[in-house]
Amino acid sequence: MTNKTGKISKETLIEMYEALKIANAIKCEDILFDDFGVSANSHATNVLIIQPSEYEYEFGAIGMGRIPDVIPKMRLLIDDPTLTGTFEEFRAGVVGAITLKTKKTKLEIRCKDPKTIKTKKNFHDKHIMSFALTAEAIKFMTQTVIAGSDQEIMFSLEDTKMILKILDGKSGDSLEHVITDDVNILDDTIGNVSFVYLFPRLSTVLSQYKEDTQVNISSRGVMNLKSDGFNLYVIAGTQ
C-alpha cells in the first residue's frame, strides 16, 4: 500500500520553524503540531507552550524531536521564496517524515510518533492579575541574577505595586525592586499575594524578550507571557 502524502503550506512551515525555535529556547525535548495547534512541555524548565492555531493544518498531527538538530537544517531553507513542503504518513494518521524543498535543496526530516508526546492543551486557572513587564525591568532582572543559579525570584503584589524580591540561597543576600506600580487586579478578593520562581526557569523565558511584554498571573502563580505569538506558561515553585 502506498503511504499517504500531502502538501504543507509555506505559512505552516514558517509557523513550525518559529515554534521550534521557542521550544528549543525553553529546552523542550519534543513538540506537537495537531488539530489543537502547537503544544510542548519542558521538563527541564517547567515552561510550556500552549498555542491554539488560527487555522487548520494540512495534516492530522506531527510530532518532532531532536529540536536542536532540526532547527539549523530548516534555517537553510526557510527564507527561500521557492520553499515548498510535503508530509508522508508511514501508517494511518502518523506522519513519519516531512520534506522541505527549494529550487536547489531538499531536506527530509524524520518525525516522532505524535501519540508518544504528552502535552498540556489548556490551563483552567483564573488570571488574578496582569501587568506590563518592561524591557528595562527584564534587563534589570537578568543582569541582577545572571551570575548565579541558586537565586529565587519572588513576585510580590503589594496594593497595586509588583515588587521583585530576589533571594540568594548561598549568601543570604536579598534585593527588592519595584517592577511597576500599575498592576491590573482582576480578582478583588486576592489581597497581597506572592509567588516564587526559581531563576534559571524564569531566565530561560525572559531571555526571549527584548521589548515590553504583558504578563498574566493565575491563582496558582502560573505566569503567562507571549513570545513571537506563542503563549508561554511558567509554573511557579522551586522544584
DSSP 180-224: ES--EES-TT--S-EEEEEHHHHHHHHTT-SS-EEEEEETT--EE
Question: What's the pLDDT band for 222 if we cut at 50, 70, 90?
Answer: very high
The larger pLDDT score, comparing residue 211 to residue 47, is at 47
Decide: helix, strand or coil at residue 114.
helix
- CB-based contact 187:196 (threshold 8 Å): no
Question: What's the pLDDT band for 238 if we cut at 50, 70, 90?
Answer: low
The larger pLDDT score, comparing residue 39 to residue 2, is at 39
Q: Does the pLDDT at position 15 exceed 60?
A: yes
Q: Which of 122-131, 190-199, 206-215, 221-230 has the lowest mean pLDDT?
A: 206-215
User: Which pLDDT belongs to residue 145?
Assistant: 57
pLDDT, mean of residues 7-14: 97
Q: Does the pLDDT at position 200 exceed 70?
A: no
Q: Does the pLDDT at position 34 exceed 90?
A: yes
Q: Does the pLDDT at position 228 exceed 90?
A: no
Question: What's the pLDDT band for 157 if we cut at 50, 70, 90?
Answer: very high
Q: Mean pLDDT for the chain?
A: 89
Q: Does the pLDDT at position 168 exceed 90?
A: no
Burial of 180 (0-12, 13-18, 19+ CB in 10 A): middle
User: Which pLDDT belongs to residue 149?
Assistant: 52
Question: Given the C-alpha cell 515553585, which residue does it identify?
Answer: 237
User: Which pLDDT belongs to residue 239?
Assistant: 55
Instruction: State CA 126 to chain mean position distance.
Output: 19
Neighbours of 185 (CB within 10 A): 15
- CB-based contact 120:224 (threshold 8 Å): no
User: Which pLDDT belongs to residue 141?
Assistant: 77
d(CA 95, CA 100): 14
Most confident by average pLDDT, 77-81, 93-97, 220-224: 77-81
5-116: CATH class: alpha beta
CATH superfamily placement of domain 127-234 = DNA Polymerase III, subunit A, domain 2 (3.10.150.10)
Torsions phi, psi for 171 (to 5 deg): -95, -20
DSSP label at 4? P
Q: pTM of the entire structure? A: 0.88
User: Which pLDDT belongs to residue 129?
Assistant: 96
Q: What are the boundaries of each domain within the chain?
A: 5-116, 127-234
Residues 6+ apart with CB under 8 A from 7: 58, 84, 85, 86
Torsions phi, psi for 38 (to 5 deg): -120, 130
**Rg, Å, the chain Cα set:** 20
pLDDT, mean of residues 74-87: 97
pLDDT, mean of residues 152-166: 90
Q: Do domains 5-116 and 127-234 have the same CATH topology?
A: yes
pLDDT, mean of residues 169-175: 79
Helix (H) / strand (E) element for 165: namely strand 161-167
